[in-house]
Amino acid sequence: MHSDILIIGGGIAGVSAAAELAPHASVILLESEGNLAHHASSRSAALYEPYYGPAPVVALSLASAEALAPFLTPRGLLLVAAEGQAAEFAAESNAFHLDKITPDHAATLFPPLDPARIRAAAHGTHASDIDTDQLLQSYAKSARAHGATLHTGHPVTALTRRPGAWTATTPRGDFTAPTLINAAGPWADEIATRAGLAPLGLTPHRRSMARIPAPDGMDPTSWPMTFGVDETWYAKPDAGALIVSPADADPTHPHDAWADDMVLAEGLARYEAMTRHSVTRLLSSWGGLRTFAPDGIPVFGPDPADPDFIWFAGQGGYGFQSAPAAARLVADTVLRRPVDPALAQALTPARFRR
């Protein structure tokens, strides 16, 4: 099968890029798993907090607001600090554009909190829930409507380079295209290696999540996403229950991740230390991989050693909230349309090749 563009990876990155490109070029997407969004893209906290992340991510997230609007529901963000966290609290509440509130006010917004244990609190209304499933399905629908083919169950086992064409080998056949987009998430460095290019040092970091019942039959629907300072834990309402994360970021290898029980227990203890909520049981738990470049900034754009190999990786913990602008940037790059030169420079893989 031949197309103008081959995309490896059927998470939010690959599917959003397919949707942006399909109106302008023939696109084939290859995904290993039997369904789209099997890995990081089905395991996120689904938060849109545009001021979360390094400057290029904030720029992409802010630029994504309009496209994300149909998929957003207001949530709000609350930051709480314990004794001895004054400096970190000041820096983070400033970075997140939050307003200082009293501990009592914080406990009215997120009732499990114990105001006696809070030294400082700040709140903002700009954070929202993202309907990540709807977002991904909407991109998939749009890509298909414009003629893209999204092949699940097609692991790319080898990549061959010939003048003017890439060939991706899968157990179900070969696929060729002049341009290849590497949207393989935690596996992005492995794909580069298969393509004969040097890896960039992308590292997946595990993050664990526990889903727990809300305390005492409370209805958490309107509570804000609540962060402990220094991202030591966070809690977020989720369909009548709470998801609590230890906010772990343990470097690991690309794999089908699961939650670490000990890490979860330690994170839940940090949540309990700021609340009156004693967690007695989990409804479920899961883990996912957030993949970061060595400088923590995503890697979007052509590889300097082969400009027809386009990196779309390293989205870390921001891959949904930045998806629309990120996909547009990658599509503009592939289609040789103008891009914001400063942003493209900040994201280019060339920064690791100097």
Ligand X SMILES: Cc1cc2nc3c(=O)[nH]c(=O)nc-3n(C[C@H](O)[C@H](O)[C@H](O)COP(=O)(O)OP(=O)(O)OC[C@H]3O[C@@H](n4cnc5c(N)ncnc54)[C@H](O)[C@@H]3O)c2cc1C
**Binding letters toward ligand X, positions 174-193, x by CB under 6 A:** ---------xxxxx------
**Binding letters toward ligand X, positions 221-260, x by CB under 6 A:** ----------------------------------------
> With binding defined as CB under 6 A, does residue 331 bind ligand X?
no
Q: Which two tokens stand for residue 223?
A: 């509570």
Rounded CA separation 24/212 (Å) = 45
Which region, judged by CB under 6 A, interacts with ligand X, from 83-91, 98-106, 263-271, 316-324?
316-324
Question: Which residue has tokens 């061959």?
Answer: 160
How many CB atoms within 10 Å of residue 164?
9
> With binding defined as CB under 6 A, does residue 298 bind ligand X?
no
Q: In the range 253-292, which residues lie near ligand X by CB under 6 A? A: 288-290
**Binding letters toward ligand X, positions 147-166, x by CB under 6 A:** --------xx----------
Residues with Cβ within 8 Å of residue 273, at least 6 apart in sequence: 82, 117
Which one of residues 315, 328, 339, 344 is an interface residue with ligand X (CB under 6 A)?
Answer: 315
Residues with Cβ within 8 Å of residue 220, at least 6 apart in sequence: 214, 237, 240, 241, 242
Which one of residues 5, 6, 7, 12 is an interface residue with ligand X (CB under 6 A)?
Answer: 12
* Least distance to ligand X, CB of residue 11, Å: 2
Residues with Cβ within 8 Å of residue 332, at least 6 apart in sequence: 338, 339
Question: Which residue has tokens 């983070």?
Answer: 92
* Least distance to ligand X, CB of residue 151, Å: 9
> With binding defined as CB under 6 A, does residue 46 bind ligand X?
yes
Q: In the range 25-44, which residues lie near ligand X by CB under 6 A? A: 30-33, 37-41, 43-44
Which region, judged by CB under 6 A, interacts with ligand X, from 113-121, 139-147, 216-224, 314-322?
314-322
Q: Which residues bind ligand X (CB under 6 A)?
A: 8-14, 30-33, 37-41, 43-47, 155-156, 183-187, 207, 209, 288-290, 315, 317-321
